[in-house]
């Protein structure tokens, strides 16, 4: 898949990030930044997301995730750059 300067990253967000509208807020922020991908709650209490887009927009999402929505208490954000693009069509919440 042609990347056109786009990158894909995976982020795992630790802390009080479930039940605080983290997924909905992430979806809103990602769409605002023109990113595609998904966000989902994990059984271990973290939130996992993958996003594709310009390196600048991904950096902004990463910076936003350090704080998250108002009620979240983010302790750590792990970021992993992926080698290839998935070609997500939009940004969505998954269960």
Residue 4 annotated among the catalytic residues of the structure: no
Q: Which of 3, 12, 23, 94 is catalytic?
A: 23
Q: Which of 41, 70, 71, 95 is catalytic?
A: 41
In angstroms, the CA 32 to CA 38 distance is 14
Is the distance from CB of 25 to CB of 42 less than 8 angstroms? no
Handedness of CA 6, 87, 85, 8 (dihedral sign): positive
The number of residues in the chain equals 95
Give the residue numbers marked as catalytic.
23, 41
């Amino acid at each position: 898949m042609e990347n056109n300067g786009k990158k894909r990253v995976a982020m795992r967000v630790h802390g009080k990030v479930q039940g605080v509208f983290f997924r909905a807020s992430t979806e809103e922020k990602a769409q605002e930044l023109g990113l595609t991908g998904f966000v989902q709650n994990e059984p271990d209490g973290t939130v996992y997301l993958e996003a594709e887009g310009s390196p600048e927009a991904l950096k902004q999402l990463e910076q936003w995730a350090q704080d998250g929505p108002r009620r979240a208490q983010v302790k750590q954000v792990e970021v992993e750059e992926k080698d290839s693009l998935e070609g997500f069509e939009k940004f969505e919440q998954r269960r």
